[in-house]
Every structure is written in C-alpha cells, then in structure tokens.
Chains A and B, each alone.
Chain A
C-alpha cells in the first residue's frame, strides 16, 4: 500500500511539471475586485468593534442556540419532495463528477475552453459553499465520493454476505480532511498551473483514489471525516436555517443555531483555520507588496514562494486563535482543548464571511462562463444548447454593489461569530467569568475582521 502511494506521488510530480499553463490567482478567472474605499473600511471596522462591546453586556444572558438548533419539522409535503430529491441529487452528483473528470483528462487543454477547471473552482468550490450557507447540507446527497463509497460498501456486503456497516452520524476524526483540503487549497492557490485541466484531472483522480482506498480499509464512515469538501460544506451548513436530523427529517431552525450542536472532533478547528488562512492568503496576493515578491517568478519557483505565503497565512491566522485560547484558558481555568471545542465553531461564520467577501463577484461574474461551456464542455467546437456565443456580462454587478456585499458580509460574519461565542460563554460559565472569558475571543475576532477588511483595501 505504502509503496504504491509513493509511486503515485512520483507520477503526480512528473505530470504536473509537464503541464504548463498561465499562472493566475485562485485557479481560474482573471478579474479581481477593486480595492474598498477607506471610509467604507473605517465604517465596517467601527461597526464591528462597537457590536463586540455591546455584545458583552446586552446580549442574552442564558444560552439560546443549542435549544433552538432542534427547530421544527417541515410540512410532510416538503419531506416527501426532499426524500424524492435525494436519489436524484446522488445521480446528478456522480454524473457531474464524471463530466468533470472527462473534461479534465480529455477536454481542451486551454482552461477557458474546458468546463472542468471552471466548474470545479467557481461553481463547485465557491458556489456550493454559498449554497450550503443558505440551503443546508445538500452536498451530503450530492457528494459523489459518499455515493461511490456507499455503493461499493453495499456491493461488498452482498458479496461477502456480511451485514452492511452503519455509517456513523459524525466521523471520529477530521484530521484526514485537513490533509485533503490543504492539498486542494495548495493546488488552487499555490501551484503555478492550477488552471490546467490535466493537472486538475490528476489531482481529482488521486483524491478519488485516496477516498476509495481509505473507505476500503477503514469503512465508509472514514470518508465522512476525510472528504474535505464534505467536511467544509457541513460546517458552513450549520449556519443555514434548513437541516436534516438524524432520522432524515427536514427541519427549520434559527439560522446559526446549528453551530451550537455541530460535532467537533480532532482536526475540526484546524480545518477551519486552514480554510480561513487560505482565503486571507488569496486576498493578500492582490497586494502590491506581494506583487514585488512574485515579480518575474514562474513555474515551480512561483509555486514555492506561494506555498511559503500560504503556510505563513495559516500560521498567522491559527496563531492568533491559539493565543486567544491560551489567554481564555488562563482566565477560565479550562483546558485549551476544551476551549477549542467550545469556541472553535464561532470561527465558522467568519470563515463564511471571508469567503463571501472574496469570492462573491467571482461566482456571479466569472461563474457565467459555465453558460457558454455547457454547450461545448470539452472545448471541441460543439454547440449543444446554442449558447457558445454567450459572453460574460462583467458589468452585471456594479463595483459599488460588490464593495457593499464585501463590507456587509465581513461585518455580518463578525456579528454572528461574536454571538456564537457569547452564547457558548454564558452556557459554560457564571456571568462574570463568561464576560471576562470573551475579551481574548473578541480580540481575535476584531483582528480577523480588520485583517479581512485591510486585505480588501489593498491593491
């Protein structure tokens, strides 16, 4: 097993080196947002700080989120539609994944003429994040890795005659997912040929092989803690008012309340910090300081420098959180591990806000390219639906609206993060300790918010 993995890794390096394609930030797309005006930055930062201090005194005094997270069952008509959609989504998930794999391996080598990198980096990676925040964990049904692992497991159960093992509700560890998502983010943000369809094909194939090998060895439950996209989308869906309980019922609950009951296991919070760090790094690459660093670098030289930048961003973001946790531990006499488990989920709204702020225009402007590529997904000169002439309307959303979407998402994310942490604090400690415990937490959140805004200001 080990030897085979080493061979696969060697193969990966050779093939990636051979695939030359234009360097570009975040995989595909060539347009980034204009810097925010300074007054808007000041407004948002001031708002965030003000809310934080109000939160200490004026927010609710007894915990509310955990009780609200149960919610109410939706009408039976919704249950029926939802249940009927489940197998449909599974088929769509596997079929779409198949189209992406075919495009990546066989389609046109020019990224702008191939649906695989465009759909993967825009609609899938960012689009599903946004949709999960609103609609809940629909990726659980769509996830082709789950579907394939489940089908393989049921075939094996039939062949061996052993009963099908039950899939656990939540995974035992999410450290494998940290590795998985880091490899995707590295590919997207650091690797110089990130948009190359063949590189993407190799990555997707390796990823799929790793998921299926892990499922074969440790059971399909392992995939739930290893499939990085699933782990991220599940976390973001805890913000959504829609969710599905353990017995598959669709329920409506207060937005955000899912964070209070989100299972946190080993790796869960480092996972969130890696994602938050990656978005910060992507934002920082728009800064002129970073442009000086990468001037005239290309190929593996560029990849190397970007890798250092990515790692540094994760260390800064993770380090700030760790410092806050240590301070809280001192104030509350609670172990760091326990504090991470309790307060880590309040980072999720902030990670969500960073994502919306950085990639809002990416989804709604660059994402339009998919209308064109649907007609010619592999760049072979087809016109299946008559849309190959479609041109992206880059002016569909004005820069002013984009700037407000960015500012508001950062501000709202901050408020939601503070509220989540506050709720957990009043749940855990008597009033005076609860208030004091929140000073370091507010400090780190204000840091993240100002950092997020400064990155949006930079150009």
Chain B
C-alpha cells in the first residue's frame, strides 16, 4: 500500500469548520469541508448544549504527510477543553471524540491531534464535542460534529472490485444489491444517492454520509470472510449483501 513516495504536497491547509446549525463552507485546493446536518457514526447518546451559551466555533489546520500521518490542530472557541473524565463538569466543557472514515480513533483533550496509519487518498475526519462523561453535545437535537476531508498524498491504489449502488427516497434502487468479492480484495462501493442518508457496512464498520446528487465511495480491504450487510442507518433499510470468500 505504502509504495514509494510521491512528492509530499504537505502544505498546511487551513480548514474552517462549522457546526450544522451555522452554515459556512470553505473548501480549499486539496481539502474540502463537508457540511452535515446529521450525527456521524453510531447513534451515540447526546446531551443538549447549554441554551445560554453560543454554539462553539471550530477551525482545523490539517497537515497531511506522505508517510500516512497527519497533524491536526484544532482552534476552538466557546468550548473549554478539559482533561478530566468522569461526571459532567462545568457546562460547555469536555473533550473531543475523533473519528476517521467512520471509525472512532480516539479522544483528544488538547488541541493537537496526530493521526497515523492513513492510506493515500481522501479520508473523512469527524470531531465531536463531548462532556467529560463522553456524552456528545447536541444543539437542537443535532450532535456538535465537525467534519472535513483530508487528502493523504501518494499513489491511490486501484480497487480490485467496484460495487455500484443507487439509492433514492424509497431505499435501494432495483432491490438489495448482491455482491461477492475475494478475501483480501480492495473494494470500492460507489453509492449514488438522491437523498441525504448515512450508510453503514456492518462489522467492517465503514460509514459515510450520502449527499443528494453525489456519489460517495466507501473504500476498504475485504479482510474478514463471511457475509455482511450494508444499510441506510436512518430507516434501517438493507442495501447491500456482500459475500467475502
């Protein structure tokens, strides 16, 4: 996977991220900011953001490296980062839960976050703000989730299998897609959607947001044998039956 090195285009990129409720968009050359109106990943518990406080603002400086690592620096206002875990402390304080491509990768109590083990290509980073008790804050029912795409330079490997799925308001177009891949294959699932939804491939735990009118790609190495399903998380509709053997 980590073939040799193409030139590092590791110029620092500044991203401005905004909470769903606000609404600003600031894409730059190599990274894009995805606005979201739904929570990310599994339905974590949420607690309401204190009504008398402004919704926090978050800026993220991401420095991707060609060795599969990235340094994130979070600038945050309206939220107090504190290192303690446990019971709910001061309202409007806590720490960050970080996920990459739908996987929780850890928690951050300081504004500097180092990520590693990233394959070349685009990765979806999400940062959610939680209280010291790990309960995610939500504003008007929407989790305080800040998301961005991060591009790791390098040669993006060619997938062994590409699965195409089309999704509309009624669910999956043309019935649940049956697909079979070989163990070890690099698989891309391209999902074209007319609706905003969340998609989740179970066990592999690959997740993504679907945006109306766009094609979203899930990329993973099929390293677990068995039969798996991918579904639209909101309505709980199965869209894919994937056999890995």
A residues near B (Cβ < 8 Å) are 20-24, 30-35, 108-110, 112-113, 192-193, 286, 288, 291-292, 294-299, 302, 361, 379-381, 394-395, 398-399, 459
Contact = CB atoms under 8 A, between A and B. Distances in A.
B236 A298 contact: yes
Given A34-B243, A109-B43, A109-B45, A399 B226 contact: yes
Contact of B203 (A33, A34, A394): A394
29 contacts: A22-B233, A22-B236, A23-B231, A23-B236, A23-B237, A23-B238, A24-B202, A30-B202, A31-B202, A31-B228, A33-B226, A34-B243, A35-B227, A35-B243, A108-B45, A110-B44, A288-B178, A288-B241, A291-B238, A294-B176, A296-B172, A298-B236, A299-B236, A361-B226, A379-B45, A381-B134, A394-B226, A395-B223, A459-B243
B171 interface: yes
A332 to B, nearest CB: 44
Interface in B149-165: none
Residue among A20, A108, A295, A297 with the most chain B CB within 10 A?
A295
B48 interface: no
Contacts of A288: 178, 241
Nearest to B225: A399
A193 B225 CA distance: 26
Q: Is the interface of B mostly helix, strand, loop or mixed?
A: loop
Contacts of B133: 380-381
A220 to B, nearest CB: 39
A33 B227 contact: yes
A302 B236 contact: yes
B235 interface: yes
Given A288-B178, A381-B85, A399-B245, A299 B227 contact: no
Nearest to A25: B229
Contacts of B85: 381
B227 A298 contact: no
A296 B237 CA distance: 6
- How many chain B residues sit at the interface, stated as a range, is 20 to 34
B235 A31 contact: no
A298 B237 contact: yes
Given A30-B202, A31-B202, A113-B42, A297 B237 contact: yes
Contact of A380 (B134, B227, B228, B241): B134
A459 B171 contact: no
Contact of A192 (B170, B224, B236): B236
- Among all A-B residue pairs, the 10 with the closest Cβ atoms: A30-B202, A296-B171, A381-B134, A23-B236, A394-B224, A298-B235, A110-B42, A30-B203, A31-B226, A291-B176
Nearest to A302: B236
Contact of A30 (B43, B178, B228, B233): B228
Given A34-B226, A113-B42, A298-B171, 19 more contacts: A22-B233, A30-B228, A31-B228, A32-B228, A34-B245, A109-B43, A110-B44, A113-B44, A288-B241, A291-B175, A291-B176, A294-B176, A295-B176, A296-B171, A298-B236, A299-B235, A379-B45, A394-B203, A399-B225
Interface of B: 42-45, 85, 133-134, 170-172, 175-176, 178, 200, 202-203, 223-229, 231, 233, 235-238, 241, 243, 245
Contacts of B44: 108, 110, 113
A31 B45 CA distance: 25
Contacts of B235: 298-299
Contact of B227 (A110, A193, A459): A459
A180 B175 CA distance: 35
Contacts of B171: 295-296, 298
Nearest to A383: B85
B227 A34 contact: yes
A397 B243 CA distance: 17
A361 B227 CA distance: 12
Contacts of A395: 223-225
Contacts of A302: 236
Nearest to A112: B42
A35 B237 CA distance: 23
A302 B231 CA distance: 14
Contacts of A34: 225-227, 243, 245
A342 B76 CA distance: 74
Contacts of A35: 227, 243
A31 B233 CA distance: 17
Contact of A296 (B134, B170, B229): B170
A108 B238 CA distance: 24
A295 B172 contact: yes
A24 B229 CA distance: 9
Contacts of A291: 175-176, 178, 238, 241
A394 B44 CA distance: 24
Nearest to B230: A30
Contacts of B172: 295-296
Contacts of B243: 34-35, 459
Nearest to B171: A296
Contacts of A21: 43, 236
Contacts of B42: 110, 112-113
Nearest to B41: A110
Contacts of A394: 203, 224-226
Contacts of A379: 45
Contacts of A361: 226
B236 A32 contact: no
A394 B203 CA distance: 9
A34 B245 CA distance: 7
A297 to B, nearest CB: 7
Contacts of A398: 225
Contacts of A286: 227
A113 B41 CA distance: 12
A295 B227 contact: no
